[in-house]
Structure 1
Amino acid sequence: MVPRNRELERSEAARHALVVAAVDLFTEKGFADTATSEVVNRAGLTRAAFYHHFTDKETLFEAAAEAVEARVGDRVRAAAAGLDGDPAESLRVSAQAFLDACLEPEVRRLLLREAPSVLGWQWWNGADRPRGPWGLLVETLAAAIRGGVLPAQPAEPLAHLLHGALLRAGVVMTSGARGEGARDAMAAAVRRLVDSLLAGDRS
């Protein structure tokens, strides 16, 4: 009999392989043009393994999108590492790191283009996923408020506003409709927005 912990490791490894394959294929082909059989084949697994972890293509896409979102959160955290003593700079750096992450193909395709239609706007808002950018933004704003660089206020309402601005900036930057200058223009606009928050009345 295979020990239970080894079975669990195998199961987790299989799920991870499916998610990795899904991220690759959804990035390459999009949600509509990717079949679950392609994901299974690329992962080197069976249909039974797929249905052990996922009920359909939508639940697989959600897992893939969450994996990409977690990478974005990790990237932002890494960029702001060591800035705990400077909450203002941490907020600036975190915002720029998020915009930089939006230029990655998997972020652009899965999170900015397809997640709103496949998973819905409530999912896209991200407020129930603390590991991703939303949770990190709440943490960063709360630290800025505690540090006195933002006025005393609840962090979450401000996080909703800034998160929405960052997501929209990412969409505009990656849509291609506004030309090559859109990236620099949106990054500059976000910097001005963050600086205006930091320069506001502290009372």
Structure 2
Amino acid sequence: MQQESSRRSNRDRSESTRAALIEAGRALFTERPYGEIGTPEIVAKAGVTRGALYHHFADKQALFAAVADAEAAAVAREIEQSSPEGTSAAEALLNGGRAYLDAMQVPGRTRLLLLDAPAVLGHAEAEAIDMCHSARTLREGLSIAIETGAMPALPIEPLTRMISAAYDSAALDIEAGGDRAAWEQVLAELFKGLTKA
């Protein structure tokens, strides 16, 4: 019984250390570009040793990937919570798009996910993270719209990539001071053109 408790305690400490590293990485990677942050700063912010960092992550890039995944998952959660049960497929797509733009306004998140992630991890890995999270929610919403007849049966992969790219462009422009209302108007018209009245 004591051995089981000790194993649980060790596992809890390990999970706590990993969470502290991800939180420290998130705070730093959303504050400044990846290249400006060193591992000594990360471990100091997390309150752990360098050995603890390398026990949980192969290197700074692996920690960055975990942070990017956690941030992308947070965006997806906001999208998923944006449409209550019974919302039409077309309205759910618009709600999800607005929720995406809201979620991307968290300071540093747009740069981390849309600029640093492809540069640090490579396009394929950054896209894989996106496809597990916010692009996945978009793909699911588009699939429902197609299945329910709210949208024509277009090839789902190119459709998802095209609309995802449009929202990413919007997030980047809004982050740089662009007109969010104008982007939302254009994106709403894009969906209106795709969905059947």
CA contact (8 A) 1:68 1:106 kept: no
Partner of 1:136: 137
Partner of 1:120: 122
CA contact (8 A) 2:72 2:130 kept: no
Alignment: residue pair count: 194
CA contact (8 A) 2:152 2:194 kept: no
Q: Extract unaligned runs of 5+ from structure 2.
A: none
| Cα displacement (A) at 1:127 | 6.5
Please give the alpha-carbon distance, in whole angstroms, between the structure 1 residues aligned to 2:192 and 2:45.
Answer: 46
Please give the alpha-carbon distance, in whole angstroms, between the structure 2 residues aligned to 1:188 and 1:128.
Answer: 24
CA contact (8 A) 1:127 1:135 kept: no
* 1:63 has 2:66 as partner: yes
Q: Tell me how large the CA RMSD over aligned residues is.
A: 2.0
Specify which of 174, 183, 188 is matched with residue 186 of structure 1. 183
TM-score, normalisation: structure 1 = 0.87
CA contact (8 A) 2:69 2:129 kept: no
| Cα displacement (A) at 1:23 | 0.5
CA contact (8 A) 2:135 2:164 kept: yes
Please give the alpha-carbon distance, in whole angstroms, between the structure 2 residues aligned to 1:128 and 1:91.
Answer: 17
Residues 42-191 of structure 1 mapped to structure 2, 5 A cutoff: 42-80=45-83, 82-126=84-128, 129-130=131-132, 132-176=133-177, 181-191=178-188
CA contact (8 A) 1:19 1:64 kept: yes
Please give the alpha-carbon distance, in whole angstroms, between the structure 1 residues aligned to 2:36 and 2:114.
Answer: 17
Instruction: Calculate percent identity across the aligned residue pairs.
Output: 37
Distance 1:85 1:174, change over 3 A: closer
* 1:13 has 2:26 as partner: no
Distance 1:34 1:172, change over 3 A: same
Distance 1:186 1:90, change over 3 A: same
| Cα displacement (A) at 1:129 | 4.2
Q: Extract unaligned runs of 5+ from structure 1.
A: none
Please give the alpha-carbon distance, in whole angstroms, between the structure 1 residues aligned to 2:154 and 2:173.
Answer: 30
Residues 17-36 of structure 1 mapped to structure 2, 5 A cutoff: 17-36=20-39
CA contact (8 A) 1:23 1:106 kept: no
The one-letter amino acid of 1:196's match is G
CA contact (8 A) 2:75 2:100 kept: yes
Distance 1:32 1:172, change over 3 A: same
